[in-house]
Structure 1
Amino acid sequence: MRVGVLFGGRSGEHEVSLNSARNVMDALQRAGHTVIPIGIGRSGRWLTGGDPMARLSDRLAGDAGHVNGREQTSWALLPQAGTREALPELDVVFPVLHGTYGEDGTVQGLLEMANLPYVGCGVLASAVAMDKLVAKQLFAQAGLVQVAYVGVRRRQWRADPDAVVATVEHALDYPLFVKPANLGSSVGVSKAGNRTELAAALGLAATYDAKIVVEAAVPHAREIEVSVLGNDDPQASVPGEIVPGNEFYDYAAKYVNDNSRLIIPAALDDATTAYVQSMAVRAFQAVDAAGLARVDFLLDDQSGEIYLNELNTMPGFTRISMYPKLWEASGVSYPELVDRLLTLALEHYAERQENSTEFALAGSNIE
């Protein structure tokens, strides 16, 4: 198949996307597919032709050869003035984009408008899962256990930071985790053990997003993750455990340092394994996900309580990323995994094509 692979993007997870896409494109090529690389610069400009990956990897290269500016280009996703032809025919698009402007339903909506099949969740699930505050409300409605949390708006923080700190302290006990609501890869996440650290953490998170989540920390926490694959009948992988080398599994621990350990499968008894797998599938269905997701949990090692942490609709796809490694441990190799994702994308697209877009009232000439 001809597979368009989207990577880069405007989010703080731009570099993570490049690392994931390199591995995805390699696996697709080894599986016999034709890869059409499509880069998105930090400015939002789309790049194709030549080697978009190399241009995006070189910060000094700029956005030369971009698609959606005034210069003439060889193609555009949606034809416009100055373009000579539309995007070459693609069988499916694999949007290896993490974070805002890629994993949040925006690109999915564009691909829907262009009537292109694509890997992963649709507009609704992508948007909901990206916004941690909205996702938490849906998870609660589905009866999934979560840690206590408080939502904060950036405008509230800027207008009266003391009042925000007081509200958080009234609702939650230290230590706390502070996160931008619409980012992944632990970008902008901080742990706060007192009022001074909380204020600093809120200020940092507010630089990344207009919505902030403050969560109660789980004592004696073990970080458990489950990969989910499928559409109407999603399957859960064996669980894995992350033992972070840092105080918690932050961006540096995930992508920079080499001091975190992945334990696959996680050392859980059969009942706990079945429980987290069931919770992962329920969370997947709660947001109407499709294709893939990684579902993260926190396990209190003393009480045994398990908390749903979050759901990621386009998890990392590097060779050391948990999502593909969990499926490998479950008997699905990396090349087989990307092939399955393409098949699921086409199935999901075919189902959407069954929806009628024509309607006329009886006796009406309006079409």
Structure 2
Amino acid sequence: MNNKTKVLVIFGGQSGEHEVSVISAASVIKALHADRYEIQTIGITKDGSWYWGARPEAWKEAKADITNGAKQVAVVLNPQKPYFQAIDGSELPDQGRCDIIFPVMHGPKGEDGTIQGLFEMAGFPYVGSGVLGSSLGMDKDRMKAVFKEAGLPIVPHLTLLRSEINAAPKAAVKRISDSIGFPCFIKPANLGSSVGISKAEDDKQLLEALIYAAKFDRKIVIEKGVKAREVELSVLGNESAKASIPGEIKPTKDFYDYEAKYLDNSSELIIPAILSQKLIEQLQSYAVTAFEAVGASGLSRVDFFVTEDKQIFINEINTMPGFTQISMYPKLWEASGLSYSLLLDELIRLGFEKFKDDADRRLS
């Protein structure tokens, strides 16, 4: 009898972070214990098609047919016994069923609550935050509003819509330069992995950055630049979450952009960050508060700025952080005494725990 837990790893997706998801999924699959888990995969293409049996390592190197013989599937909304079905009617391993889904998805339609809502409707247990936590964790504008309500310190910021920028670009630039000033950072509200982010030092750079960010999202967040160290903590748990030791990033570039995070190993990761015990405890407390404020569960990475005079500002929370070999989330837990493989075990356990808690609620 096969007592292995059937884990379905889903990756890819319709997001600017598609490639990061593929790399993260390959790392996760490699680290899951083969004697404990039976692993199946679904790759989601950039056009939104789902393929059972697609392998992330093949997608990383693909030159032609990225589906590579995988079967296109759809989810069947049968909450008592959820499963996937091949579009062509052919059989899938285990009749398209799994015990739990591990959505190694970053960005819109993967980390923003949309796919989590699908899993909820279908009745699948899954790893990570639910609809609300994922949604708030993705939208930097609403995230900051929740952080502020929770009493967390945030940097001055402004949110503009793409329509405002398109209608009156000069007025948008003036409003930002008058209220935020320079330097400032321009970010699509609903993307992670530093996709679409720019730093502006003057009006010309600001206008270019706004136009660039607006390609990725309808809502743009502009933040005041602060001279500070970039410090990150990993959070793990459901209702009794704990924070890891902090790590510091010293990017070789002007800031920790997409390339520095996933393609370039030259940025220095200092683990643990060299901080006083008092600052560490404050950061850990803030990290858990942020986790609870957005309603996250399972895992999150929380990013901070720490200034020379020891001021702390929370930057953002990432509810499905990168899981590549150079990603901070697993590295911080490893340094805190939890290996990559044991971390994955715990995340799967937490996913089952959350599913049971949700299933125990009364419906009438």
TM-score after normalising by structure 2: 0.92
Task: Choose which of 323, 327, 332 in structure 2 pairs with 1:326.
Answer: 332
Does residue 107 (structure 1) correspond to residue 112 (structure 2)? The answer is no
Who is 1:234 aligned against? 241
Give the gaps of 5 or more residues in structure 2. 75-81
1:151 and 2:155 correspond? no
Query: Matches of 2:269 and 2:353 in 1, distance apart?
Result: 32
Q: Secondary structure at the match of 1:67?
A: strand
Letter in 1 for 2:116: Q
Partner of 1:194: 202
Q: Give the direction of change, closer, same or farther, for the CA distance of 1:78–1:34 in structure 2 (3 Å limit).
A: closer
* Structure 1: stretches of 5+ with no match in the other structure: 70-75, 360-367
Out of 261, 270, 280, the residue aligned to residue 273 of structure 1 is 280
Match of 1:22 among 9, 26, 29: 26
Q: CA deviation at 1:88?
A: 2.1
CA contact (8 A) 2:262 2:324 kept: no
Share of identical aligned residues, percent? 47
Given candidates 55, 69, 72, the residue that maps to 1:67 is 72
Residues 231 and 273 of structure 2 are in contact (CA less than 8 Å); yes or no, is this contact kept in structure 1?
yes
Query: Are 1:356 and 2:362 an aligned pair?
Result: yes
Q: Which residue of 2 aligns with 1:128?
A: 136
Q: Which moved more, 1:190-199 or 1:87-96?
A: 87-96
What is the distance in 1 between the residues matched to 2:245 and 2:89?
Answer: 48
Per the alignment, residue 13 of structure 1 pairs with 17
Q: For residues 48 and 68 of structure 1, do their structure 2 counterparts lie closer, same or farther at Cα, with a shift above 3 Å needed? A: closer
Q: TM-score, normalised by structure 1?
A: 0.91
* Root-mean-square deviation over aligned CA pairs: 1.8
Deviation at residue 171 of structure 1 after TM alignment: 1.0
Once the two structures are superposed, what CA deviation does each residue of 1:25-53 show, in whole Å capped at 9, x if it has no partner? Answer: 11113462111011111111111136465
Please list the CA deviations of residues 44-77 of structure 1 after superposition, one character each: whole Å capped at 9, or x if unmatched: 11111364652464152155645258xxxxxx95
Query: Which of 209, 212, 219 lines up with 1:211 in the alignment?
Result: 219
CA shift, 1:84, in A, is 4.9
Matches within 5 A, 1:83-94: 83-84=89-90, 88-94=96-102
Match of 2:322 in 1: 316
Q: Name the CA shift for 1:168/1:257 in 2 (closer, same or farther; >3 Å).
A: same
Distance 1:124 1:50 in 2: 29
User: Are the equivalent residues in 1 in contact too, given 2:108–2:190 (CA < 8 A)?
Assistant: yes
* d(CA) in 1 for partners of 2:287, 2:358: 25
1:273-312 Cα deviation digits (max 9, x unpaired): 00000000000000011000000001112x2111000000
**Contact 2:247–2:271 (CA under 8 A) maintained in structure 1:** yes
Q: 2:352 aligns with which of 346, 350, 356?
A: 346
Aligned length: 350
Change over 3 Å in CA distance of 1:16–1:31 after alignment to 2: farther
Q: Is the Cα–Cα contact under 8 Å of residues 225 and 239 in structure 1 kept in the other structure?
A: yes
